[in-house]
Amino acid sequence: MDRIVVRGGRRLTGEVTLSGSKNSTLALMAAALLTDDEVVLRNVPRVRDVDGLLAIFEALGAKAGWDPQDSHAVRINASTVCRYEAPYDLVRKMRASFMVLGPLVTRFGQARVSEPGGCAIGVRPIDQHLKGIEALGGKTHLDHGYVEVSGAPLVGVNFSFDITTVNGTQNVMMAATLAKGETVLENAAREPEVVELVEVLRKMGADIEGEGTARIVIRGVERLHGVEHCVAGDRIEAGTLLCAAAVTHGDVWIHGASAETMGATLEKLREIGVEITVQGDSIRARVPNGLHGTHVTTAPYPGFATDMQAQIMALLLVAEGSSVVTEKVFENRFMHVPELQRLGADITLDGRSAHLRGGAKLMGAPVMATDLRASAGLLVAALAAEGETTVHRVYHIDRGYERIEEKLKSLGADIRREG
Ligand code: EPZ
C-alpha cells in the first residue's frame, strides 16, 4: 500500500507543466463509443481512472488502449463492440464509467450498466441521468443493481435537469447526438469539461450549440466519425499546484493551464493574498505580503469548484485570521477535516460549513487519504507542516494526479513515495 512522505517547510519555486484533464478525458473516452471510427486522445494523464475506463471498454469488446507510440495517448475503436454490459466490479471502482450508458443506448439500442453506487463524498445518485435517457425514449429497468436500457432510435426532446449535473449533462447530451430530431437540455452543466466534450463531438460531426450555457441544443445526426484531440490541461491540478505554491509562500509558474476556465479559483487565491500572473497558458503564483482568511462557498461552474475545496481549505489554515468554507455541491465532502485536525488544524464543522481559525502552526503527522481531492488537500497542508507527514492510501490520489510527488519534488518539495 503506497504512501507519500512529506517533510514540510520548503518554499516551492520553479516551473511545472500540467497533465491533461482527467475529467475531460473520461467523458471524451465515452464519446468514442458513438462512432465506428478510431478516436485518438492525446495529452491524456496516466492515472488510475483512465485505466479503469479502458477496462470497461475491454469488457464491451472495443479495441482500446494506450498508444505504443505516445505514452500519453489512448486509441479507441468501438467498431468491435459486441457486448453492452458494464459490470459492477469495474463500474464501482470508477463511477464515471456510468457515462457509457448514453452512448451505448443511442448507438446500439441497448445497455446494461451497473449502478455506480455512492462514494466517500456522497450518495452520488444517477436519477438525472436516467430521467434524461427516459425523456429521449429510453426504456429503463432496474435489475439487481444494474440499469438496463433499451429503445432505439432515441427521439429528440425538450428536457430540463432538476439539478445541475456534469456527468448527467454529458451522458444525456451524448445520447442525443444520434437521436432523431432536436433535443434541448435546460439547466445543463456549464463546466469546461462539458464545453470540451461538445467541441470534440462537433469535430466528430455532431450538431450541437449552447455549450457553456445552461441551454444546450443538439440536433441528431445519422452517424459520427472519428477524431484526434489533444485534451486540455487539468484545471483542478492547476488549482492544486497553485495552492501548494502559495501554502509554502513560494513562487511557481504552471504551464498548460487555461486561466479563463479558472476564474473563481484565481479570484479566491487573489482574495487570500496570492499574487497571480497570467501569461498565455502559464500562471504564476507568489505571496508577496502574507495570506489572510476569507469565505469560500462551492457551486457549479462558474462558481468555486467543489474539487478545489479541500486544497483551498489547507491553504486557509496557514492564512492569518478566520475563514469559513461551505460545501454546497456534495453532502459529505469534509472527510479531510479530521485528518487536517491531526496536523493541528483548528476547524469546527457546522453542517455544510467548516469554520477555520487560521495562522495555525501545523505539525506533521501520519494521515489517511479518503478520496481523491481530500488527499490533495492533505498534501497541500503537509507542505506547510513542521516535520514529517505520511499520507497513507495514496491510491486515492493516483486516481486523478499523475506523479504528483515528482511534480512537487521538481519544485523543491521534500517528498517521496514509499511502499
Ligand atoms: C463530476 O462528477 C466530476 N467527475 C467530479 O469530480 C466533480 O466533483 C463534479 O462533477 C462536480 O463538479 C467527473 O467528471 C468524472 P455532478 P459528477 O453530477 O458529474 C447530484 C473529482 O474529484 N446529482 O455534477 O458525478 C450529486 O449528488 C470528481 O475529479 C443528482 O442528484 O457530479 C451532486 O450533489 C469528484 N442526481 C450534484 O448533483 C444525478 O443524477 C453535482 O454532481 C446526478 C448528480
Domains and CATH numbers, the chain: 3-19+233-418 (3.65.10.10), 22-230 (3.65.10.10)
Torsion of CA 292, 294, 298, 299, to 10 degrees: -120
pLDDT score for 419: 85
pLDDT score for 122: 86
Q: Which atom of ligand 1 is nearest to the CA of 300?
A: 12
> Which residue among 53, 163, 332, 372 is best mutated to probe the pocket of ligand 1, counting the most ligand atoms within 8 A of its Cβ?
163
Q: Which atom of ligand 1 is nearest to the CA of 167?
A: 19
Does the CB atom of residue 96 touch ligand 1 within 6 A? yes
CA of 121 to the centre of ligand 1 (A): 10
Tell me if 392 sits within 8 A of 352, measured CB to CB: no
CA of 167 to the centre of ligand 1 (A): 6
Tell me if 311 sits within 8 A of 340, measured CB to CB: no
Does the CB atom of residue 62 touch ligand 1 within 6 A? no
CA of 124 to the centre of ligand 1 (A): 7
Does the CB atom of residue 94 touch ligand 1 within 6 A? no
Question: For the chain, give me the number of helices (H) and strands (E)?
Answer: 14, 24
Q: Which residues contact 159 (CB under 8 A, 6 or more apart)?
A: 131, 132, 135, 136, 172, 183, 184, 185, 186
pLDDT score for 123: 82
> Which residue among 48, 161, 166 is best mutated to probe the pocket of ligand 1, counting the most ligand atoms within 8 A of its Cβ?
166
Task: State the Cα–Cα distance between residues 150 and 110, nearest whole angstrom.
Answer: 4
pLDDT score for 1: 74
Does the CB atom of residue 250 touch ligand 1 within 6 A? no
Exposed/middle/buried for residue 418 (C-beta within 10 Å: 0-12, 13-18, 19+) = exposed
CA of 361 to the centre of ligand 1 (A): 34
Task: State the Cα–Cα distance between residues 191 and 169, nearest whole angstrom.
Answer: 10
243 an active-site residue?
Answer: no
What end-to-end distance do the CA atoms of the chain give, in Å? 6
CA of 387 to the centre of ligand 1 (A): 36
* pLDDT per residue as tens, the chain (419 positions): 789 999 999 999 999 999 999 999 999 999 999 999 999 999 999 999 999 999 999 999 999 999 999 999 999 999 999 999 999 999 988 889 999 999 999 999 999 999 988 788 888 899 999 999 999 999 999 999 999 999 879 999 999 999 999 999 999 999 999 999 999 999 999 999 999 999 999 999 999 999 999 999 999 999 999 999 999 999 999 999 999 999 999 999 999 999 999 999 999 999 999 999 999 999 999 999 999 999 999 999 999 999 999 999 999 999 999 999 999 999 999 999 999 999 999 999 999 999 999 987 999 999 999 999 999 999 999 999 999 999 999 999 999 999 999 999 999 999 999 98
Q: Which atom of ligand 1 is nearest to the CA of 330?
A: 34
Tell me if residue 111 falls in helix, strand or coil: strand
